[in-house]
Structures are given as C-alpha cells and as structure tokens.
A and B are shown apart, each in its own frame.
Chain A
Amino acid sequence: GQQLNQSPQSMFIQEGEDVSMNCTSSSIFNTWLWYKQDPGEGPVLLIALYKAGELTSNGRLTAQFGITRKDSFLNISASIPSDVGIYFCAGQLLNSNSGYALNFGKGTSLLVTP
C-alpha cells in the first residue's frame, strides 16, 4: 500500500502544552482518519475527515483534511496525561487495489509529563 509520511515520530511534552502532528502523501486520498492506540489495544478512531479542506473538532482535538487531499494534521490542545499513546493517521486511497483498505502512517508516540 501507499506509505504515509507521519511526523514527528515522537513527542515528549508537558501537561497543558498543545500538540501538532501531520501526515503527507504523494497520492490523493478521499478519506483521512486519525486514530489513537494504547499499548496492547487496537486503534480507536478520533476524527474522520471526508472532504478536502474540512476542519473537524472532537473536544480538544482538531484535524484538517488538506486542500490538496494529500495531507492532514491533528492538533491536541491543552494536553493531559491520558493523551499518552501512539497516534496514527490513516488514509483511504482512490482506486486502491486493496478495495478501500486503509493505509497507515508510522505513528507519533506522545508522552505527556504531569
């Protein structure tokens, strides 16, 4: 599948700080999704984006679907210790050979200190 470039690879921040991470691709996606994964668990959907330029919020989380359809970012405001985990971006390609399977970024590991 297509590789998504996700950055940063890891972040170590203090509680209360804002966080930003992004994903880019050389291919056009028709859907961008952001997931959080806790150790030993499956990914849990945070935000889904379906339209280019779309800006969506979910509590302290905000994500945007890039206007070129090749990128997306996720912001977390006022981080708290329970935000710790690995965040993955995922995209669904147009005309994917795998039907509409998701392609995942490599993840951003977030550590929050009290």
Chain B
Amino acid sequence: GAVVSQHPSRVICKSGTSVKIECRSLDFQATTMFWYRQFPKKSLMLMATSNEGSKATYEQGVEKDKFLINHASLTLSTLTVTSAHPEDSSFYICSAAGSDYGYTFGSGTRLTVV
C-alpha cells in the first residue's frame, strides 16, 4: 500500500530560526502534496497544496513567505517554517496523492518553538 514518510516527528527550535519538514512518498509518485496544520483537539486545517514542479497554492490567511513549500520531485515535498515564533508551534501533517493512490497522510511533525 501507499506509504508516506514525514520527518522529523518532533522538533524543538529557538524563536527566529527556520525549520524544514520533509514529506516523502515511499512507494508511489505523488503528483500532489498537501500540508495541514492541526491545533490540539482541533481538526486539520489545509495550509497549502503543491504540485510537482510548480508553485504551491496557499489557503487564505496562510503566509507564503513564512511557510515555504517546495515540491521538487514526485516523491518529495518540504515545508520550511521561516523565522519561527512560539505561535507557530503546532502539529504539521502532510498528505500525498498520486494517480493510483488516494490521500495518504504522513505521521506528522510536532513543532515546538521556544
């Protein structure tokens, strides 16, 4: 079956630094990857949609300069949180979709900014 690997699973960083989160589809080609953010006891909130080789489409209210998304290949997308602040602390989850596979989620990244 489809497997999506996301790492790191947990990261703690200092305010003002940048953090990169990777999302890889291990056994299928992901033409589209999605990045979600989840607050405690809340639902998943779509941040952006990225298609391989093109710029990501950001949801309203999501700062594209703060949350940089790169989808350089059919198996890898990265989310970089730039100049992180404590309010960026959250659970970030990626999802990958390919022609033969539906939406498969990564295991998430718990980001804590101190």
List residues of chain A with CB under 8 Å of any chain B CB: 1, 33, 35, 40-45, 48, 88, 90, 98-107, 109
The answer for the CA separation of A90 and B27 in the assembled complex, in Å, is 24
Q: Say whether B44 contacts A43, CB under 8 Å.
A: yes
Indicate if B53 sits at the interface (CB-CB under 8 A): no
Which residue of the partner chain B has the closest CB to A102?
B103
**A98-B49, A98-B57 given; A42·B42 CB < 8 A:** no
The answer for the CA separation of A100 and B55 in the assembled complex, in Å, is 16
Which residue of the partner chain B has the closest CB to A41?
B107
Q: Say whether A42 contacts B43, CB under 8 Å.
A: no
Work out how many contacts link A and B, with CB atoms closer than 8 A: 57
Q: Say whether B110 contacts A100, CB under 8 Å.
A: no
State which of A45, A98, A106, A109 has its C-beta within 8 Å of the C-beta of B102. A45
Chain B residues within 8 Å of A101, by CB:
34, 46, 49
Which residue of the partner chain A has the closest CB to B104?
A45
Q: Say whether B49 contacts A43, CB under 8 Å.
A: no
- Pick the most buried of A33, A48, A88, A98: most chain B CB atoms within 10 A of its CB: A98
State which of B49, B102, B105 has its C-beta within 8 Å of the C-beta of A99. B49
Indicate if B25 sits at the interface (CB-CB under 8 A): no
Q: Mostly helix, strand, loop or mixed at chain B's interface? A: strand
Indicate if B30 sits at the interface (CB-CB under 8 A): no
The answer for the CA separation of A35 and B97 in the assembled complex, in Å, is 15
Chain A residues within 8 Å of B107, by CB:
41-42
The answer for the CA separation of A106 and B93 in the assembled complex, in Å, is 16
> In chain B between 1 and 22, which residues have their CB closer than 8 angstroms to a CB of chain A?
4, 6, 9
Chain A residues within 8 Å of B43, by CB:
88, 104-107
Q: Say whether B105 contacts A42, CB under 8 Å.
A: yes
Which residue of the partner chain A has the closest CB to B36?
A104
Please, what's the 1-or-0 string for B93-114, where 1 marks a CB less than 8 Å from any CB in chain A?
1010100001111111010000
Chain B residues within 8 Å of A103, by CB:
46
Indicate if B32 sits at the interface (CB-CB under 8 A): yes
